[in-house]
Structure 1
Amino acid sequence: MKTIEIEIVKSGSRKDLKIELDKAVKKFRSKGLEVVVQYRTQAILK
């Protein structure tokens, strides 16, 4: 079993982030890979 770590840095809405993340995770899992996800979001201060 291989493990892949995904680190995501993204500004924007968390809903979009979740949708993109789910797609990526499903793609890796369908290949039999274990996926470890780390969330790291950037806050934009105005």
Structure 2
Amino acid sequence: MPDVQPTPDLADVPMKPAPSPDEVTREEDPTGTDPENPPATDVTLPTE
């Protein structure tokens, strides 16, 4: 049985090209600060 690692080393994983600032902002800020696009995690709205 070959030596298979459950998770490959970061050194073995080819680095992806740097994403555009737009994509970085979207990935770094998944909370959705856009007023037209509220965060999906904010589901604790009071139901009266």
Normalising by structure 1, report the TM-score: 0.25
Name the one with the larger helix percent.
Answer: 1
* Richer in strand (by share): 1
Q: Which has the larger radius of gyration?
A: 2
Higher relative contact order (Cα pairs below 8 Å, separated by 6+ residues):
1
Q: TM-score, normalised by structure 2?
A: 0.24
